[in-house]
């Protein structure tokens, strides 16, 4: 049943109440029309305190009633409950409660009622909300607890209303019509094409009456208005920048005590919030999140998404965690990072060694502001980057090494040297990239096995080292025959030590973790160094001490 069809049905109301006190007492309760006219509605009841079940008493077709309570000193005759109204309440016959009634209420009231009288105006009470009042002026340590119910034949119960998605959608459509009408009237008066989000007096009264009629809390109204503004799609009138922030502020300052009654409306708002967040994050997306740059655009981006963040952080979502847009926010931001990483991977293949080195430097020196921004949204920036890079960059790395091996001429020193420079540069780039990943506590991935890609290449690195060392050694030997030098220390000796010291440093700088690769490199380096020592020993005298060292 929709809200519109529900609103035309005749409605009756009842009060569910309970009288509690430490000792057994009886109370005289009078329900009557508010004001001086008591002829239109009046019902009188004698009620026992501490009943096994709550009493349900008819209020007629209005809640404009006063509830008057006083203490009765004796019980009189006992009867089962009967309603003073001609129309019985369906499903609420209380044969288990003892309500004492008299044929002469006025006489009994004058004779038996004692103490002061306590009166409550029911028109001030919200439907279905429990109220509690102390009756200490009548009976010490006594209270009355009650709520007003809507009960009508053909009318859905309150539980059906608060759980109805159809009624929530009807409320949104009603509010949308009111808001668009008010926006057009407002723009006609102000000669502007912006709407500030406020409802006019008539529209405000219609919405307020509809909410109260349905027995829904005030916060329900705030949810409706925010939802309508987030879904705003008027062709000619745009929303003012202040409209949605004001609606968010009004929602934040509203009481959340009865927010559990707003589940369908919260679900509708959740859908609107998620669409709004997606549009905000992707609208005019000129900010680049990868690779990091020195002059970070994070500050500007943070200002642009402030409104979406405010919606994400609403207290409402603590009551309805499954409807929260937090995951949507995280997934959208993560998706933006992934798209930019994939775009970078496509562009880096032309010069992979330099691209990997540049990326490592960017992540090492400029990623702090990015890490801070995405960390706020429970996103590990480095983690997402490496998860996206892992397989694609690994394939490009292995493909680069295979291509380099296929094009290598092992008998050409220049080809060997060019191959060694390129592959060692890529090796060092991956090594430093993995260091960044480990510092960010990224778990194992394909990139972590980068050393195994270079097993075949490492042998040719040592060939290049041998060639370069021999060339430099021969050059240093030739320098011995030029000019006059100290006979105890020849220039070739100094150069020989410097050359092989640099070779050892280069080897150590590789920081090999793969045992097989490290063993191959160690053996080859030892053999080439030994050969160079032999060559130096044969060409220089005396060098026995150097050979020994």
In order of their start, the domains of the chain are 11-155 (2.60.40), 160-290 (no CATH), 308-454 (no CATH), 458-548 (no CATH)
What are the φ and ψ backbone dihedral angles of 372, each rounded to 5 degrees?
-65, -45
Please give the average per-residue pLDDT across 523-537, as a whole number.
Answer: 62
Task: Please say if the pLDDT value at position 533 is more than 90.
Answer: no
**pLDDT the model gives residue 77:** 41
Which segment, 436-445, 502-511, 530-539, is predicted with the most confidence on average?
436-445
Q: Which residue has the higher pLDDT, 339 or 511?
A: 339
Write down the pLDDT at residue 500: 62
| Rg (alpha carbons) of the chain, rounded to whole number | 42
Higher confidence at residue 413 or residue 523? 413
Please report which confidence band the pLDDT of residue 106 belongs to, taking 50, 70 and 90 as the band edges.
Answer: very low
What is the average per-residue pLDDT within 189-202? 88
Is the confidence at residue 37, as pLDDT, over 60?
A: no
What whole-number distance in Å separates Cα of residue 222 and Cα of residue 131? Answer: 23
Quick one: what percent of the chain has pLDDT higher than 70?
72
pLDDT tens digits, 413-434: 888 888 888 888 898 899 999 9
Residue 234 has pLDDT above 50, yes or no: yes
How sure is the predictor about 247, in pLDDT bands with cuts at 50, 70 and 90? very high
pTM of structure: 0.66
What's the rounded mean pLDDT across residues 361-383?
93
Cβ–Cβ under 8 Å, residues 25 and 163: no
pLDDT-wise least confident of 67-76, 175-184, 431-440:
67-76
Confidence of residue 124 (pLDDT cuts 50, 70, 90): confident
273 pLDDT higher than 50:
yes
Higher pLDDT, 248 or 211: 248
Mean pLDDT over 459-469 rounds to 73
The confidence band for 518, taking pLDDT boundaries of 50, 70 and 90, is: low
User: What percent of the chain is predicted at pLDDT more than 90?
Assistant: 38
Which of the residue ranges 79-93, 154-168, 465-479 would you say has the lowest mean pLDDT? 79-93
369's CB contacts (< 8 A; 6+ apart) are 292, 296, 298
User: Which pLDDT score, from 0 to 100, does residue 356 have?
Assistant: 94
3-class SS of residue 16: strand
Nearest to 410 by CA among 454, 464, 458, 455: 464
Q: How many CB atoms lie within 10 A of CB 365?
A: 10
What mean pLDDT do residues 436-458 have?
A: 87
pLDDT of 415: 86
Helix (H) or strand (E) holding 99: strand 98-100
What confidence tier does 484 reach under pLDDT thresholds 50, 70, 90?
low
DSSP 371-436: HHHHHHTT--HHHHHHHHHHHHHHHHHHHHHHHHHHT--TT-HHHHHHHHHHHHHHHHHHHHHHHH
Close Cβ partners of 120 (under 8 Å, ≥ 6 residues apart): 66, 67, 69, 131, 133, 144
* First-to-final CA distance of the chain: 98
Neighbouring C-alpha atoms within 13 Å toward the C-beta of 497: 11
């Amino acid at each position: 049943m929709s809200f519109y069809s529900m609103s035309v049905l005749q409605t009756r109301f009842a009060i569910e109440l309970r009288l509690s006190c430490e000792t057994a007492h009886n109370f005289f309760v009078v329900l009557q029309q508010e004001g001086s006219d008591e002829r239109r509605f009046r019902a009188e009841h004698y009620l026992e305190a501490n009943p096994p079940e709550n009493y349900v008493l008819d209020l007629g077709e209005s809640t404009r009633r006063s509830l008057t309570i006083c203490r009765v000193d004796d019980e009189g005759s006992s009867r089962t409950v009967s309603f003073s109204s001609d129309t019985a309440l369906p499903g609420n016959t209380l044969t288990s409660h003892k309500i004492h009634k008299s044929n002469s209420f006025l006489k009994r009231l004058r004779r038996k009622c004692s103490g002061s009288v306590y009166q409550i105006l029911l028109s001030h009470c919200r439907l279905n909300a429990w109220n509690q009042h102390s009756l200490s002026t009548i009976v010490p340590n006594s209270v009355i607890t009650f709520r007003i119910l809507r009960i009508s034949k053909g009318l859905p119960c309150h539980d059906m209303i608060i759980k109805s998605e159809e009624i929530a959608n009807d409320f949104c459509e009603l509010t949308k019509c009111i808001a668009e009408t008010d926006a057009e009237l407002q723009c006609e008066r102000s000669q502007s094409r912006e709407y500030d989000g406020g409802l006019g007096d008539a529209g405000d009264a219609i919405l307020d009456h509809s909410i109260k009629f349905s027995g829904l809390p005030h916060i329900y109204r705030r949810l409706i208005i925010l939802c309508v503004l987030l879904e705003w799609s008027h062709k000619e009138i745009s929303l003012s920048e202040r409209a949605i922030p004001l609606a968010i502020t009004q929602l934040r300052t509203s009481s959340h005590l009865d927010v559990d009654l707003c589940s369908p409306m919260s679900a509708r708002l959740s859908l609107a919030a998620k669409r709004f967040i997606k549009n905000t994050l992707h609208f005019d997306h000129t900010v680049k999140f990868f690779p990091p740059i020195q002059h970070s655009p994070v500050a500007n981006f943070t200002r642009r998404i402030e409104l979406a963040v405010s919606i994400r952080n609403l207290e409402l979502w603590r009551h309805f965690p499954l409807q929260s847009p937090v995951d949507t926010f995280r997934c959208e931001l993560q998706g933006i990072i992934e798209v930019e990483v994939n775009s970078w991977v496509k562009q880096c293949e032309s010069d992979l060694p330099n691209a990997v080195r540049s990326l490592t430097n960017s992540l090492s020196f400029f990623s702090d502001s990015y890490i801070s921004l995405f960390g706020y949204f429970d996103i590990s920036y480095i983690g997402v980057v490496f998860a996206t890079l892992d397989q694609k960059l690994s394939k490009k790395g292995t493909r680069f090494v295979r291509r380099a091996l296929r094009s290598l001429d092992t008998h050409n020193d220049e080809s060997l040297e060019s191959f060694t420079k390129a592959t060692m540069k890529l090796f060092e780039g991956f090594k430093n990239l993995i260091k960044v990943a480990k510092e960010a506590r990224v778990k194992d991935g394909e990139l972590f096995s980068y050393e195994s890609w270079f097993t075949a290449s490492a042998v040719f690195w040592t060939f290049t080292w041998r060639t370069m060392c021999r060339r430099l050694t021969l050059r240093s030997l030739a320098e011995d025959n030029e000019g006059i030098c100290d006979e105890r220390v020849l220039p070739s000796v100094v150069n020989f030590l410097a050359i092989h010291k640099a070779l050892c440093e280069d080897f150590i700088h590789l920081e090999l973790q793969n045992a097989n690769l490290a063993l191959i490199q160690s053996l080859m380096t030892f053999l080439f160094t030994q050969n160079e020592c032999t060559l130096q020993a044969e060409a220089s005298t005396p060098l026995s001490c150097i050979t020994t060292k």
